Structure 1
């Protein structure tokens, strides 16, 4: 975490992207610029079902930029479409299912979370995520 925060502007070209399981994750706040939150642009391709995950510490905020799908929140299905917003308190289990179109969301965690920090899965974790499930 940086001791002195600086203003950031990330354009449409975006930040660094990595493919982890069904997720295409674009980092909008680099670890070196991290303050109280992390932010990502998440893309999930059509006809995908993500593994169910949760965070022990971070509150997570999602805003659907484009596409549609279903959010699986604590085992309950909630339809998603562009303009929808989700607030997930720590411990909320969540996953996503897409249909015919890509789902694109802004994903903000506070405090910050990374694929190798405060991300846990109910079942097998996707390739690239580095946190073992707590016992």
Structure 2
């Protein structure tokens, strides 16, 4: 069974969102998503400063099995990418909620309102099992 952490918001596209400071959130893919992809070998990021709408593709994750789109669950502007993943993309497999985070986004509007549109951990567990 995949790990689903309480206190995070989730998209039905298998991304997680964590409010970290002010209007900034951190985004990654879930443990379920990384297990479905298999060994991750490459991550394509958006450039910092890229504006994204909720549901927009903002890069790809390549595994030995497939290439998968990375979707932004909230509207805003990319402020930071996890540069560590350039050399160590496998961190997404081993630490999907910690060292394997992918981007940080400054949310357009209220963070609370953006997160309310996503799934709770309990709601995500229902689709990830």
Greater per-residue helix proportion: 2
TM-score, normalized by length of structure 2? 0.33
Greater relative contact order (CA < 8 Å, ≥ 6 in sequence): 2
Q: Give the strand-richer structure, 1 or 2.
A: 1
